[in-house]
Amino acid sequence: MAKTYKQIMDEARQAVPEVSPEQVKAKLDQAKHPVVLDVREKDEVRQGYVPGAVVIPRGFLEMRVEEAVPDRKTPIIAYCGSGTRSLLAGRILKELGYSDVSSMRGGFTAWKNLGLPVKEDRQFTPEQLIRYSRHFLLPEVGEVGQAKLLDAKVLCIGAGGLGSPAAFYLAAAGVGTLGLVDMDTVDLSNLQRQILHTNDRIGMPKTESAKLTLQALNPDVKVLEFRERLSSENAFRIFEQFDIVVNGCDNFPTRYLANDACVMLKKPLVDGAIWQFEGQATVFYPPQGPCYRCLFPEPPPPGAVPSCAEAGVLGVLPGIVGCVQALEAIKLILGQGTPLIGRMMHLETLSAEVRFLKLRRDPKCAVCSDHPTVTKLIDYEMFCGLGGGDNGNGADPDGGHHPEPPRPTAG
Ligand SMILES: [Zn+2]
């Protein structure tokens, strides 16, 4: 016989004991506490929730609860807005075999009215809810991850070949603060690959052109321009303002400077390098993996390595490597996946081959070992004379290659 709503609720009340918000709070304060399960809809949870609660909307309960609470003996206290849906949810949980289930009387409204602690996640604007909707669908990102992205501060060294795609995708993903270090102006020869810039901006400072493009794409992003050449004088001041550094600028003095500054400030350096048809990407982040000096202790002699301006680069290649750098930065921000720390992706575009090389730390590294010999920043161009770059001002914005390819190691 069909049941009425009242009958169903009466049955639920008999099957699922109710506890007061104060009792829930007391249990939560104990070292070993029950799982508090919020069964409200997403937009309700956005207005605030019980700190530490596991959120599974009522409509997804049967599908998701086994993953969230695998042990069916785990005590669960369910709550909703007013205490009705949580009773019904409790009944389902009992049917699923959870033995110790109760429901919070009066729901979140009662909890809040008693002045008990409430946690509120970042509030997204209606536009942001649409803009980042594809991120929200991924459990690995979700609203919590998107909030991390919006709070993150990433510095791109160079707004050129690698910096363009990296900054472009970081901005699209909603990385809230992007810094750009580049003292170049846009040149016609850049436009074959440096996609932040446009024909009508030739002669404009690259940081200014980049800012226009990035903010047109996503007004959420704050772009900080550093129209200066990275040096021992300004590296700490600039780097300190950011969580992660993306290196898209590969003259050797800057490469060593960026590495040493990141090691000393304990910040991850997402590195990229390109050479004609070959690209490499890795993350230098000791002590989990090596730094650049572990692989290449000293810069090559002046003139030993030609720059991209001299050797050429396939236009699409920095796009691929720069996107890998953006991806690695986003993984680090989210704390998801396995970063390219201690591994280097090597891409050969003509043969369409991708290899991953294992990289090892040098226990005697001059900068990241326990007993470093390099303890302050060095301006190598002062004596090694490597200008590099499109215009010889020291900022090769294409990320020229490493002095020699790293050797694969066992494993
Ligand atoms: Zn090192």
CA–centroid distance, 203 to ligand 1, in Å, is 39
Report whether pLDDT(309) > 70.
no
Q: Is 161 exposed, middle or buried (0-12, 13-18, 19+ CB in 10 A)?
A: buried
Confidence of residue 384 (pLDDT cuts 50, 70, 90): very low
- 285 CA distance to ligand 1 centroid (A)? 9
Q: What is the pTM of this model?
A: 0.77
What is the distance in A from the centroid of ligand 1 to the CA of 227? 29
392 falls in which pLDDT band (50, 70, 90)?
A: very low
Q: How many angstroms does the Cα of residue 342 sit away from the middle of ligand 1?
A: 11
Whether the pLDDT of residue 411 is over 70: the answer is no
What integer best gives the mean pLDDT of the chain?
A: 91
Query: What distance in Å separates the CA atoms of residue 192 and residue 315, rounded to the nearest whole number?
Result: 6
pLDDT of the residue at 250: 66
Distance 109 CA to ligand 1 centre (A): 54
How many Å lie between the centroid of ligand 1 and the Cα of residue 400? 21
Residue 61 has pLDDT above 80, yes or no: yes
Per-residue pLDDT tens digits for 21-56 = 999 999 999 989 999 999 999 889 988 999 999 999
For 244-261, the pLDDT digits (tens) are: 999 998 688 899 999 999
Mean pLDDT over 336-345 rounds to 97
| pLDDT value of position 400 | 54
Around ion ligand 1, which residues have CB less than 5 A away?
291, 293-294, 365, 368
Question: Could you report the per-residue pLDDT of 184-203, keeping only the tens digit for each?
Answer: 999 999 999 999 999 999 99
- Residue 308: the pLDDT is 61
Between CA 129 and CA 46 the distance in angstroms is 12
